[in-house]
Amino acid sequence: MTHFEPLLRAENVVVEYGSRRNTKRVLHEVSLDVGDGECVGLVGESGSGKSTLGKAILGLVPVASGSITFDGRDITRLSGRARRQLAADIQVVFQDPYGSLNPMMTIGEILAEPLSAAGTSRAEARRTVGEMLERVNLPGSVTDRYPSEFSGGQRQRIAIARALVRKPRLIICDEPVSALDLTTQATVLDLLIELQRDTGVSYLFVSHDLGVVRRICHRVAVMFRGNLVEIGDGERVTRDPQHLYSQRLLAASPVADPVLQAERREAWLALRAADER
């Protein structure tokens, strides 16, 4: 089995929404590692806290307690400036390729923007943009066109290229293929796998779709009502649902805590139900 050095480590992360008087805890001491070059899936039913963990790592929601370290450095509570500097290393790809690309900008402008914000020269930015388009299998000629001229799958390729331009070490993929039809999903997942092989980038792959996660992830973490209730060290090649559901997770969990045990079962039954729909 491959062992991975943790690039990202979340330890006992607590996130609460709401006001001081009316607090709703949505993450309960969640701990999770992502290794260099590893793809860790985060699955769970709707509202279980998957996106919130992604947002906490990106600094988009405050962490009430616990810590998040990246490459050995505490990034739990960074100033705005330090957070912007970290943007080169941690990028995000969202579900909605329609909403996440500015419709008023050309593809060339969209891809060059993070580079010019970081002070890269125009010539260098143009070269990098061309390289990234090639990586996501789009021709260089797309730079003069606008997002509305592309299909959902192509837009998601563009969003991935934008996430890649600053050569990040981690990409939070938040339901990146959920809005796509099945064939397009498959090509985008294959692209993500290929990019990971070529660049060694790590993914935290948020999805409610176990089939998708099974296809792309090395390990799968299961969230349930704000708790991380299970981590299975699956493999990308694991395609057998029985392997995940029955062998590893439902039957053989040596969990002393009966509440956690019950939550694990419920989480997996909910996922299985969603998977079968």
Ligand X SMILES: Nc1ncnc2c1ncn2[C@@H]1O[C@H](COP(=O)(O)OP(=O)(O)OP(=O)(O)O)[C@@H](O)[C@H]1O
Greatest alpha-carbon pair distance for the chain in Å reads: 60
Closer to ligand X by CB, 201 or 206: give it: 206
DSSP 109-123: HHHHHHHHHTT--HH
Q: How far apart are CA 80 and CA 111, in angstroms?
A: 22
Cβ closest to ligand X, residue 95 vs residue 154 = 95
Q: Which residue has the tokens 């307690």?
A: 65
Smaller CB separation from ligand X, 18 or 200: 18
If the CB atoms of residues 50 and 214 are measured against ligand X, the closer one turns out to be: 50
Q: For ligand X, give the closer residue by CB, 50 or 157.
A: 50
When the beta carbons of 9 and 25 are compared against ligand X, the nearer one is: 25
Q: Which two tokens stand for residue 166?
A: 């600053």
Terminal CA-CA length for the chain: 33
**Cβ 46 to ligand X, closest distance in Å?**
3
Q: How far is the CB of 19 from ligand X (least distance, A)?
A: 10
Token pair listed for 206: 């948020």
- Comparison of 198 and 276: residue with beta carbon closer to ligand X: 276
Beta bridge mates, 14 = 65
Cβ–Cβ under 8 Å, residues 230 and 253: yes
Residues 235/245, Cβ–Cβ less than 8 Å: no
Provide, rounded to whole angstroms, the least separation between the CB of residue 44 and ligand X: 5
CB of 26 to ligand X, least distance (A): 4
- Nearest 5°: the CA angle 62, 113, 216 is 65
Partner residues linked to 41 by β-bridges: 205, 220
| DSSP output for 24-93 | EEEEEEEEEEEETT-EEEEE-STTSSHHHHHHHHHTSS--SEEEEEETTEE-TT--HHHHHHHTTTEEEE
Nearest approach in angstroms of CB 198 to ligand X is 29
Provide the binding-site residues for ligand X, judged by CB under 6 A: 17, 24, 26, 44, 46-52, 208
CB of 205 to ligand X, least distance (A): 12
Task: Report, in Å, the least distance between residue 117 CB and ligand X.
Answer: 26
